């Protein structure tokens, strides 16, 4: 069972203005008077006490856990997540593509992860991870690991920025180079809090405050991503074109702007994720039937795609638990 995170909010929410220097709202207010019960959750940031009601349910005894956002944010935020533990130095983490984009914050005092190009996750820094079209391999380079992330739904980030996500796909960027939504000091704000609940409160409050300045969402593209997911990534692009009733070139440009993927790339990732979930529920001698059911030509096609997208054989996934989220593979 996945973790649940619920914050009791009023149906009508009205936030205050932003601090021009740090981008964090100096005051969060709503239609009721919470002045007697406000709780400070960061430098210059006040959140009413109705943000105090969280239910955190552990999913598995591992470093990785997920938490669901408030329903108001759920169209835009897929999950909040945390990786915390003491892995072995040099341990590999294979990050799998999921069709989403993430902001991640390192709450450790040391650089704890780096890729093969020596790009590292520096202490008390934040990063943006664009749409991934294949797996990414990171190595643990410290004795501890504590990272919190915000995973946006496909198109969800477009509510908070006009930035074309196609320009950021496949990239991992420092917040100072991104220039939207979270300020580069946001990891320090989170580190100041003593508990996971308080840190998630800071994130949730900030995102709620930004909804007042929400950009218009491309509803056709949101609808199309839903259709692709429902079909398990199997719908031909021509059929998608006929359903949305716009020319292919214009449609693909809008789709990539909102998601970071072309429709074909997104469908490929969705098909891979569906096959991954199916494999976790079957034995290893059913690869051919899994391949055909999930839209691959045969088992060799399935193996080839999994090597490209996960760096691993499909057989690896048959041994993984079926009821827990899989976002990365350990060494």
- pLDDT per residue as tens digits for the range 262-305: 999 999 999 999 999 999 988 767 889 999 999 999 999 999 99
Q: Residue 328 has what pLDDT?
A: 66
Domain 219-324 has CATH 3.40.50.720: no
User: C-alpha distances in angstroms, 17 versus 120, 126, 203, 250, 301?
Assistant: 34, 23, 16, 36, 53
Q: Residue 203 has what pLDDT?
A: 96
Mean pLDDT along residues 36-46: 33
Domain 61-213 has CATH 2.60.120.10: yes
Specify whether the CB–CB gap between 302 and 294 falls below 8 A. Answer: yes
Domain ranges of the chain: 61-213, 219-324
Strand, coil or helix: what is 11? coil
Q: Residue 118 has what pLDDT?
A: 82
pTM of the model: 0.81
Q: Rounded distance, CA 327 to CA 282, Å?
A: 19
Q: What is the pLDDT of residues 170-209, one digit of tens each?
A: 999 999 999 889 998 999 999 999 999 999 999 999 999 9
């Amino acid at each position: 069972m996945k973790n649940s995170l619920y914050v009791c909010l009023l149906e009508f929410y009205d936030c205050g203005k932003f601090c021009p220097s740090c981008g964090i709202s100096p005051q969060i207010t709503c239609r009721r008077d919470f002045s007697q019960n406000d709780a400070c959750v960061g430098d210059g940031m006040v959140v009413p006490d109705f943000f105090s009601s969280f239910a955190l349910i552990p999913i598995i005894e591992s470093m990785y856990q997920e938490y669901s956002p408030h329903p108001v944010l759920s169209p835009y935020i897929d999950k909040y997540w945390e990786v915390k533990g003491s892995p072995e130095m040099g341990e590999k983490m294979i990050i799998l593509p999921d069709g989403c984009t993430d902001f991640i914050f390192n709450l450790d005092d040391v650089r704890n992860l780096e890729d093969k190009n020596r790009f590292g996750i520096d202490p008390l820094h934040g990063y943006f991870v664009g749409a991934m079209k294949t797996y990414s391999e990171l190595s643990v380079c410290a004795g501890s690991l504590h990272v919190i992330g915000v995973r946006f739904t496909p198109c969800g980030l477009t509510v908070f920025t006009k930035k074309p996500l196609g320009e950021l796909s496949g990239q991992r960027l420092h917040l100072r180079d991104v220039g939207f939504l979270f300020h580069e000091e946001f990891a320090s704000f989170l580190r100041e809090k003593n508990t996971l609940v308080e840190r998630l409160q800071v994130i949730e409050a900030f995102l709620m405050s930004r909804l007042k300045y929400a950009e218009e969402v491309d509803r056709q593209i949101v609808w199309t991503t839903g259709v692709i997911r429902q079909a398990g990534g199997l719908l031909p692009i021509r059929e998608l074109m006929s359903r949305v009733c716009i020319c292919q070139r214009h449609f693909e440009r809008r789709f990539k702007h909102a998601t970071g993927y072309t429709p074909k790339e997104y469908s490929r990732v969705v098909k891979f994720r569906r096959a991954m979930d199916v494999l976790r529920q079957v034995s290893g001698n059913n690869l051919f039937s899994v391949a055909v059911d999930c839209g691959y030509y045969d088992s060799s096609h399935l193996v080839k795609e999994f090597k490209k997208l996960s760096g691993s054989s499909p057989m690896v996934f048959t041994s993984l638990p079926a009821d827990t989220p899989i976002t990365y593979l350990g060494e």
